[in-house]
C-alpha cells in the first residue's frame, strides 16, 4: 500500500482515487474512504450552518438597527443567500438539514451571538422568521 492515511491524507486521497479509477478495488482503503465520504457530508452541513448564521445575524441587525443599514449589510445578505441557494441546488439532500431542530437552534444561537457581539443589543431567543423568508431574496425585515 502507498501512503498511510494517518501520515498524509492528501497523498492518500490521490492514491485512493487512482486505485478506484483503475478498478483496483482490492487495494483500496475502504474504511478510511467511507470516513472521508461521511466527513464531506458533515463539512457541507457545517458550511450551511455557518452561512445561515451569518445571514441571520445580518438580518437581525437589519431589523433591529435600521439606522445602520448600508451597502455592506446588503452585500453580505445577498452573498449568503446566493451561496446557500447554490449549495441547496447542487446538493438537494442538504435541504433536510433544516428538519433538524438541534441544528436550527444552533444556527439561531450563533446568529444571535454574532449580532449581539457587534451591536450590544438583545435579540429574540428563538427564530422569528421562517427558512423560506430568510432565503427569499425579496425579504428584508422591517
- How confident is the model over 63-80, as pLDDT tens digits? 999 999 999 999 999 999
Task: Calculate the average pLDDT of the chain.
Answer: 96
CA 62 to chain centroid, in Å, comes to: 21
% of the chain surpassing 70 pLDDT? 99
Question: Does pLDDT of 123 surpass 90?
Answer: yes
Mean per-residue pLDDT, 99-116: 98
What are the residue boundaries of the structural domains of the chain, listed by start? 43-135
Between helix 9-22 and helix 30-64 the angle, nearest 10°, is 120
pTM of the model: 0.87
Mean per-residue pLDDT, 50-61: 98
Question: CB-based burial of residue 35 (10 Å sphere; 0-12 exposed, 13-18 middle, 19+ buried)?
Answer: exposed
CA dist., res. 132 & res. 97, Å (int): 14
**Residue 121 confidence class, pLDDT cut points 50, 70, 90:** very high
Query: What pLDDT is attached to residue 2?
Result: 87
% of the chain surpassing 90 pLDDT? 99
Query: What pLDDT is attached to residue 64?
Result: 98
Mean per-residue pLDDT, 74-95: 97
Question: Does pLDDT of 33 surpass 70?
Answer: yes
**Residue 1 confidence class, pLDDT cut points 50, 70, 90:** low
Query: What pLDDT is attached to residue 62?
Result: 98
**DSSP class per residue in the chain:** --S-TTT-HHHHHHHHHHHHHHT-GGGS-HHHHHHHHHHHHHHHHHHHHHHHHHHHHHHHHHHH-GGG--HHHHHHHHHHHHHHHHHHHH-GGGGGGGG-HHHHHHHHHHHHHHHHHHH-----SS--S-HHHHH-TT----
CA dist., res. 72 & res. 70, Å (int): 5
CA dist., res. 135 & res. 27, Å (int): 45
Distances (CA, A) of 77 to 19, 92, 136: 43, 21, 11
Amino acid at each position: 500500500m502507498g501512503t498511510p492515511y494517518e501520515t498524509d491524507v492528501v497523498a492518500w486521497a490521490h492514491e485512493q482515487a487512482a486505485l478506484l479509477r483503475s478498478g483496483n478495488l482490492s487495494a483500496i482503503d475502504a474504511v478510511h474512504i467511507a470516513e472521508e465520504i461521511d466527513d464531506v457530508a458533515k463539512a457541507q452541513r457545517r458550511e450551511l450552518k455557518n452561512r445561515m448564521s451569518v445571514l441571520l445575524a445580518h438580518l437581525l441587525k437589519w431589523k433591529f438597527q435600521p439606522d445602520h443599514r448600508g451597502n455592506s449589510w446588503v452585500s453580505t445578505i445577498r452573498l449568503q443567500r446566493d451561496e446557500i441557494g447554490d449549495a441547496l441546488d447542487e446538493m438537494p439532500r442538504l435541504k433536510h438539514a433544516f428538519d433538524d431542530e438541534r441544528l436550527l437552534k444552533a444556527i439561531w444561537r450563533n446568529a444571535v451571538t454574532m449580532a449581539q457581539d457587534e451591536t450590544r443589543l438583545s435579540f429574540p431567543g428563538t427564530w422569528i422568521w421562517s427558512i423560506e423568508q430568510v432565503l427569499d431574496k425579496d425579504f428584508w425585515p422591517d
